[in-house]
Amino acid sequence: MTKQLVIIGGGPGGYVAALKGAALGARVTLIEKENLGGTCLNWGCIPSKIMKNSADLLLKCLEADKMGIQIEGHVSADMTALMARKDKILEDQRKGIEGLMEANGISVLFGKGKIAGPGKVSVTDAAGEETIVDYDKLIIATGTKPLNVLDFPFDHTRVVSSNDILCLDRIPASMTIVGGGVIGCEFAFIFSALGCQVTVVEAMSRLLPLPSVDESCSKLLMREMKKRKIKVFCDTVVTKAEAGDAGVSVSLSVSPFTDNPKPKKLKTDTLESEIMAVCIGRTPLSEDLGLENIGLQTERGWIPANEFMETAADNVYAIGDILGPAKIMLAHVASHEGLVAAENALSDTGTKAVMAYNAVPGAIFTMPEVGTVGLSEEGAKAAGFEVETASVNFRVLGKAQAIGEIAGEAKMIVDAATKKVLGVHITGPHATDLIAEATLAVEKGMTADEVAHTIHAHPTLAEIMGEVASKASGMPLHG
């Protein structure tokens, strides 16, 4: 008998699970309350990269004389045109996903999905009409939304979310960004390049204070922010924000959350800016989902799932950001979790697909970019490894010199005994593309020597992997 697979949430996890389910012969229904593509396409990965591309182009135009190009007249950003381009690309991408669903025989219902009981989901559309959909297997992929902090809630004008930033019709003269994580750092570079005076406030002792990001990346990024006149306050929290007609007054305090045992005294306890962007986390979209109707409990709103993507409820799976920080909240991780969940939901072989998180690439679109995979140096030591590290600057590459992007380095962490690659952390031009080779090396358990003996084309930025692997294996070349 053909199984009925229902998926709540049409983001990169949900729609990929739908495609996999259809390929495996299920009747698939995908429920989405807003737009297909989820946060990644509509409010995250794609629109912010569209903005970054324009910011990169503007910087190149402003520095064109260094490349032997003369540009006459004034060069500036046009936010109206930029937003129009962004909206057009997003609409085309959404239509592309809709076309994939139609071509694969997947039924798409737009509306709010709620679990009515075991085997049943209700869908309420914009007109208030309800449809009941039966399921044999259910995948929950509802994702998250920006965290609204009660001490300085969004007014969407002066105190804005990461969603609001993507809809600005002007470039603010100044912006305070609360949170020096991935989202905060990306927007800091983008808006600085577009001509905004940016200040970043981070509660921890460094930018990008994530276990997956080596401290060397944070240090290099801090130097680049200083070069671009981006002000950074680490070990600092925002306690209050008072919005007025002219802007927002931001009150600061020494962070009680910092991992710095001796944080420095603040030079100022107040910042003034046109807007304040809050980029300090996400909150789960699990409320009013009807989880109680199948006896499924959450942990602070996050849905627990095992390595097979199974939840505690029979025939119910969960994928993507709704799993929370206990997993890795990235679009490409959600997609892979979707493949695993669909395969396990529909397989009759008894063999289960397993979701592994040991070789997940991280892509951070700052200026320069950051690409990471595997363990950081600190993480490797904490895991009990005796490690060796090697670092090579991008400036040793002819390609980096040719394109005028020499800031950055690649760092490789290896097991001292076996030279097995434990982690790679790249900060530099196109680091988010270059990390793919390192991901394969970590996934396949390769040694530094094996990577070093792989021929890398010249002149390319990819040579950075050959250089750092040669150094890690005791045969340094130009680095």
Residues 276 and 304 in one domain: no
Structure tokens at 211: 């276990």
Residues 10 and 101 in one domain: yes
Domain finish residue from 254, 280, 306: 280
Residues 248 and 124 in one domain: no
Residues 431 and 464 in one domain: yes
Domain finish residue from 346, 373, 400: 346
Residues 137 and 125 in one domain: yes
Residue 24's pLDDT is 96
Domain assignment present for 308:
yes
Q: Is 316 within 8 Å of 306 (Cβ atoms)? A: no
Domain assignment present for 426:
yes
Residues 138 and 172 in one domain: no
Q: Is 241 within 8 Å of 275 (Cβ atoms)? A: no
Domain assignment present for 479:
no
Distance from C-alpha of 166 to C-alpha of 77, rounded to nearest angstrom: 15
How many residues are there in the chain? 479
Residue 115's pLDDT is 98
Number of structural domains found in the chain: 3
Q: Is 202 within 8 Å of 232 (Cβ atoms)? A: yes
Q: What is the CATH number of the domain that holds 438?
A: 3.30.390.30
Strand partners, 246: none
Residue 182's pLDDT is 97
Residues 263 and 342 in one domain: no
**Looking up tokens 């998250």, which residue turns up?**
144
Residues 9 and 131 in one domain: yes
Non-local (6+) Cβ contacts of 226 within 8 A are: 232
pLDDT along the chain (479 residues), means of 10: 94 98 97 96 96 97 95 94 97 98 98 98 96 98 95 95 95 98 98 98 97 97 98 97 94 95 91 97 95 97 98 98 95 98 92 96 98 98 98 98 97 98 98 98 98 97 98 89
Domain assignment present for 377:
yes
Q: Is 142 within 8 Å of 296 (Cβ atoms)? A: no
Residues 394 and 424 in one domain: yes
Q: What angle do the packed helices 79-103 and 14-23 form, to 10 degrees?
A: 20
Task: Provide the domain limits for residue 223.
Answer: 159-280
Q: How many Cα atoms sit within 13 Å of 312 on the Cβ side?
A: 13
Domain assignment present for 357:
no
Residue 477's pLDDT is 86
Residue 458's pLDDT is 97
Catalytic residue (choose from 430, 453, 456, 458): 458
Domain finish residue from 251, 280, 309: 280
Q: What is the CATH number of the domain that holds 53?
A: 3.50.50.60
Amino acid type, 332:
H
DSSP structure class, residue 22:
H
Is 458 one of the annotated active-site residues of the chain? yes
Residue 266's pLDDT is 92
Q: Is 469 within 8 Å of 444 (Cβ atoms)? A: no
Non-local (6+) Cβ contacts of 351 within 8 A are: none
Measuring CA to CA, which residue among 9, 4, 3, 2 is closest to residue 338? 9
Domain assignment present for 351:
no
Residue 15's pLDDT is 98
Residues 136 and 165 in one domain: no
Residues 245 and 298 in one domain: no
Domain assignment present for 417:
yes
Domain assignment present for 354:
no
Residue 348's pLDDT is 84
Q: Is 252 within 8 Å of 233 (Cβ atoms)? A: yes
362-364 and 369-374 strand pairing: antiparallel
Residues 17 and 140 in one domain: yes
Residue 230's pLDDT is 98
231-233 and 197-201 strand pairing: parallel
